[in-house]
Structure 1
Amino acid sequence: MNKLQRITDYLSAHGLNQAATLDAWIEEGTFEPRAKNEGTGYTILTMAYKAIVSIERYAHSAHLLAAMVAIWMQEQGEEFDDSMVGFSADKTDDELFDIELEFMLSEDVQIVRDANGPLTFMGEQYRIESAPVWVAEDFTLDADIAN
Structure 2
Amino acid sequence: MSQTISKLQQLCNYLCQGMNPYVKPNDIDGWQGGGQLMINTEDLGLSGCLLAKWKYDAVIEIERLPHRKVNPYNLLGMIAVWLIEEDSDRDDYGLSDPDLDITVISKDHAQVTIELDLIDDIELVPDEQGPIRYLGERYRISLVPINIAESADLQTKDAD
Same fold (TM over 0.5): yes
Quote the sequence identity (%).
Answer: 27
Structure 2 counterpart of 1:130, one-letter code? L
Contact 1:23–1:53 (CA under 8 A) maintained in structure 2: yes
Partner amino acid, structure 2, of 1:66: L
| Secondary structure class of the residue paired with 1:115 | coil
Using the TM superposition, give the Cα deviation of residue 39 of structure 1 relative to its aligned residue in structure 2, in angstroms.
2.7
Cα distance, 1:10–1:135 mapped onto 2, change above 3 Å: closer
Alignment gaps of 5+ in structure 2:
156-160
Paired residues for 1:127-142 under 5 Å: 127-133=140-146
Residue 6 of structure 2 is aligned to residue 2 of structure 1: yes
1:111 aligns with 2:124: yes
Mean CA deviation greater in 58-67 or 46-55? 58-67
Change in Cα spacing, 1:44 to 1:139, as seen in structure 2 (3 Å) is: farther
Deviation digits for residues 126-146 of structure 1 (CA, Å, limit 9, x no counterpart): 111122346786799xxxxxx
1:47 to 54, 61, 69: 54
1:101 shift after superposition: 0.8
Partner Cα distance (2:26, 2:135) in 1: 47
TM-score, normalised with respect to structure 1 = 0.79
Matches within 5 A, 1:56-71: 56-60=63-67, 61-71=71-81
Q: Which runs of 4+ in 1 moved over 6 A?
A: none
1:19–1:57 CA contact under 8 A, matched in 2? no
Unaligned segments of structure 1, at least 5 residues: 141-147
State the TM-score, normalizing by the size of structure 2.
Answer: 0.73
Distance in 2 (alpha carbons) for counterparts of 1:95 and 1:4: 27
The aligned residue for residue 113 of structure 2 is: 100
**2: CA distance between counterparts of 1:76 and 1:131?**
18
CA distance in 2 between counterparts of 1:139 and 1:78 reads 32
Residue 27 of structure 2 aligns to which amino acid in structure 1?
T
Matching residue of 2:15: 11
CA RMSD of aligned residues (A): 2.8
8 A contact 1:86–1:102 mirrored in 2: yes
Amino acid across the alignment from 1:47: W
Equivalent-residue separation in structure 2 for 1:44 and 1:77 (angstroms): 19
